[in-house]
Amino acid sequence: METLSERDRDRQEERLRRLTAAVPYFLLAASTLLSLASDDLHGSRLLETLGLVSLTAVLMWAMTGLNPEWTSRQGPMTVFVAVLIVMIALLSTRGVWFAGFFGFAGYVYSWQFLRGGWRFVGVAATAAVTVAAYMGGPPALTPASVLLYLGFVASIVLLVAVFSHLGEFTAERSDERRRMVERLRTTLRENEGLQAQLLLQAREAGVHDERERMAREIHDTLAQGFVGIITQLQAAERAELEETRASRGKVRGDGIGGTGEGDRAEWRLRVANATRLARENLAEARRSVHALGPAPLETTPLPDALSDLIVEWSRMSGVRSGFTLTGPARPLHAEVETTLLRAVQESLSNVARHAEAARVGVTLSYADDLVLLDVRDDGVGFDPAAVGTLRGGIEDTTGGFGLTSVRQRVGRLAGTVRVESEPGHGTALSIAVPAVPRETPVE
């Protein structure tokens, strides 16, 4: 959008163009008034002079004002300038003021409407008639008079050419600046459109990323937690069923016995585990909504958080497990630690559901510029090359995100994920991510 100053400048340029176009008429009027005031113009001479003035004004208006499109046609303009120079010569015989003032219009129109060498011809012809009027007529046929006359004419032509070229150069620079400003305006408008498009794409990308983040968090926290809750409640249901059958056996005396207190204790343990898992998942859901990191990593280093996670999982699943740490542990970027913790959670969840494993081992290794994570089980395994949907180990097959979520998280860190498995020989998941250090808060 144009600013106020730009609009004012355009209006000033338009007014300047109109004023420039009116200058020849002003010079003609001024020459006429000065001639009437200082020269002895009476009777027919006065009428002839006013007639020539009127005819000249009509000629200029007809060729430049009434038909402005003619100004770009070389033929009509050449005739116009020639006739105008003749009119200047005739008027100069009526008064020297016409040569002194109105003669300037001949220079302007010659340079403005003629092209190439014809410009100099028009300027020279105008100078010839005006200098002759100044000198009171054509020069005497003497060397001194002719040289003086030609010197005046040449000087005027030179001055007109120099100042006209300077004016054209200034006008070209002004036009170039105007075109540059217009290009800048066009570029700014295009940039505004691109910026709006980029903002829209950024919003869409942000929405997409947030959806993916929520999907990963829901899978890695809520879905796994609900599976654990269901598992614990199913175990509690089985314990209650066993207790009921034992109680009925005692009543019938059919010999079916059971330790009712032991079954009741197991039932209470399973229900308590389910209740605890429900609370933990509720807390994780709230943290996911607020885009917070896992609770275990808030106050606990990653190796300790993994060790606690594995111990608790082993207690609830009944699968023996072990955790090994190699290399000196050091604080890592929050997203790196979150990715490794979620990968172990996903792996252990899939082992409990599919692997039928008796033992699981987790190894965390700190190298110079990498962090390596290995999760191995001795479950049923699978043949990755033989099936499209992988079962029997760390690879999730429940229709959820599974290893896809792990790959997405690791991929965001420019890391790698490798799965190795063989039927009857367990499954191994290996992850390598850059060891990005934790940012030190600025004090």
Q: 28 is written with which tokens?
A: 């003609």
- What domains lie within the chain, and their CATH numbers? 4-138 (no CATH), 300-443 (3.30.565.10)
> What Rg, from alpha-carbon coordinates, does the chain have?
50
User: Which residues have CB under 8 Å from 158's CB, separation 6+?
Assistant: none
Q: What angle do CA 221, 225, 230 make, to 5 degrees?
A: 155
Give per-residue pLDDT as tens, 269-328: 666 666 666 666 655 655 555 444 566 677 789 999 999 989 988 888 889 999 999 999
Burial 158-171 (b: 16+ CB within 10 A, else e): eebeeebeeeeeee
What is the per-residue pLDDT across 174-212, written as a single tens digit (0 to 9) for each? 778 778 888 888 888 788 777 767 766 766 666 566 566
DSSP string, 202-218: HHHHHHHHHHHHHHHHI
Higher pLDDT, 200 or 108: 108
Residues 165, 168, 169, CA angle at the centre, nearest 5°? Answer: 85
pTM listed for this prediction: 0.43
Average pLDDT, the chain: 76
- Identity at 112, one-letter amino acid code: Q
Q: What φ, ψ does residue 93 adopt, rounded to 5°?
A: -75, -15
pLDDT digits (tens, 9 = 90+) for 9-45: 667 667 767 777 788 888 888 888 887 777 666 677 7
Q: How far apart are the C-alpha atoms of 60 and 85, rounded to whole Å?
A: 12
* Dist CA 54 CA 258 (whole Å): 134
What is the b/e burial string over 73-110, where b = at least 16 CB atoms within 10 angstroms of the residue's CB?
eeeebbebbeebbebbbbbbebbbbbbbbbbbbbbbbb
* 115-151: pLDDT as tens digits: 888 888 888 888 888 888 877 777 777 888 788 878 8
